[in-house]
Amino acid sequence: MKKFSGTSVYLFAEFSASLCLGMVFVSMSLYEATVAGLSPIQLVLVGTTLELSAFLFEVPTGVVADVYSRRLSIIVGYFLMGVGLLVEGFLPAFLPIIIAQVIWGLGYTFTSGASQAWITDEIGEESANRLFLRANRYVLFATLIGMALAFFIGGSSAAMPIRVGAAGTLLISPVLILIMPEFGFKPTPRADRNTWEHMWHMLKEGLSVVRTRPRLGNILWVGFFFGLYSEGFDRLWVKHLIDTFELPLIIGQTQVGFFAIMRISAMLLVILATRFLEKRWDTSNPQVIGRAMVIITAGISAGLVLFALSPILSLAIAVYCMISVFRNVGIPLYQAWVNQKLDSSTRATVFSISSQVDAFGQIGGGPLSAFVAGRFSVIAALILSGLLLLPALRYIQRTNSLTEQTEPIESEAAGRLDGN
């Protein structure tokens, strides 16, 4: 089959994967809590296993993308993600689901970063940056379609959206084998393949930048607490609604339709809020971001407590949507916060450190939430999640109190690191 353009293939992969995963994620938490019958502790441990797998596999799978072939890495990644989801969808028990998370996490790391690097090699950095913004619209639209499909096909079985989404994800790989070009990639010469040494060198430079930038250090602490609280909420909010309220059967014999409508409503609100705020907030101004992060952090923390204690289903739904808006609006704001005044030579490394800080938070917060859920209740674990976010307010205030004049310019700091 004829190879298609890099732009077309990238948009196809992003759209197809988002559609399939949109179906999967509508049903997954409900499936794990009801069909698989996982306890609150097991639900949280499933999420922690996924985060830990992705964290551990990130570097070795990156070697494949940088040294051998980014095309190969992407194809293998979608195949493994599909296999992992199929294992979960057909084997509803704790151990197979744990194994599925490891396979899924491994597959995700094969695609993470490789897709962006591949398309940049194919069409150039400037064109790729424009394409990323265009692709984001495709991702949102495809996710909504996937959620709508889950609404219809999940009426008779909570496992069906996972199985269909898994099969679709798996099929992306053979399609990419037929249509995906790779003309811009140049493998790293064998003599230069000291990937671990290079990674360690870049990590030390990134950490040195953080140490010389007090504002950046405080911002990363904020990211840590956002990771710390999130795992408990992400894994237990569905379980809480199932245990606390009598959920309506909107279509068929499962609550998949209910959760599909709930997630679609939240996503539409996120899109509207993002478009409204992006025209009114100056993300180049750190003080504007800092004030917004105070509101977002306090809103999520208070919302989690209210969500856990709400005696009314409609109020719990409204609070969940509010939390979703705050979380999704906060992501690009936080990224813009991290990105300010960074030198191009260490920007990618600092962003990588930021991602790892978030992962550390999730890996640490997951078992803590699991312990509280098992020892006390899901409600107590959700309240704990809200409280775990509160220390972030202190670091936001410290960040806002530090002016940029109190810090060295990063290029100067980098010069000192180089001995100049």
In 3D, which of 91, 113, 109, 92 has the Cα closest to residue 53?
Answer: 109
Q: What are 22-49's pLDDT values in tens digits?
A: 999 999 999 999 999 999 999 999 999 9
CA separation (Å) from 250 to 58, 144, 205, 206, 263? 40, 18, 54, 51, 14
CA 408 to centroid of chain Cα atoms: 32
In 3D, which of 171, 182, 187, 186 has the Cα closest to residue 5?
Answer: 182
Distance between CA atoms of 164 and 337, rounded to whole angstroms?
39
If phi > 0 it is left, if psi is from -120 to 50 it is alpha, else beta; for residue 37 that is: left
pLDDT at residue 351 in the model: 65
Give the helix ranges, DSSP H, for 124-213. 125-153, 160-179, 195-212
Inter-residue contact 363 to 47 (CB < 8 Å): no
Low-confidence spans in the chain with pLDDT less than 70: 1-3, 59, 62-63, 66, 133, 187-210, 212, 283-284, 339-352, 403-420
In 3D, which of 340, 335, 336, 347 has the Cα closest to residue 404?
Answer: 340
Q: What are 232-278's pLDDT values in tens digits?
A: 999 999 999 999 999 988 877 789 999 999 999 998 998 888 778 77
Q: The tokens of 133 are what?
A: 């913004």
Q: Which amino acid is at 147?
A: M
Q: The tokens of 161 are what?
A: 């959206």
In 3D, which of 47, 248, 259 has the Cα closest to residue 147?
Answer: 259
pLDDT at residue 147 in the model: 93
Q: What angle do CA 55, 297, 401 make, to 5 degrees?
A: 100
Three-state secondary structure call for residue 186: coil
Go through the domains of the chain in sequence order and give each one's CATH number: 1-183 (1.20.1250.20), 194-420 (1.20.1250.20)
In 3D, which of 418, 416, 345, 404 has the Cα closest to residue 216?
Answer: 404
Specify the DSSP class assigned to residue 68.
I
Specify the DSSP class assigned to residue 69.
-
pTM, to two decimals: 0.81
Distance between CA atoms of 17 and 30, rounded to whole angstroms?
21
| Owner of token pair 């972030």 | 392
What contacts 382, CB < 8 A, 6 or more positions away? 232, 233, 236, 237, 240, 304, 305, 307, 308
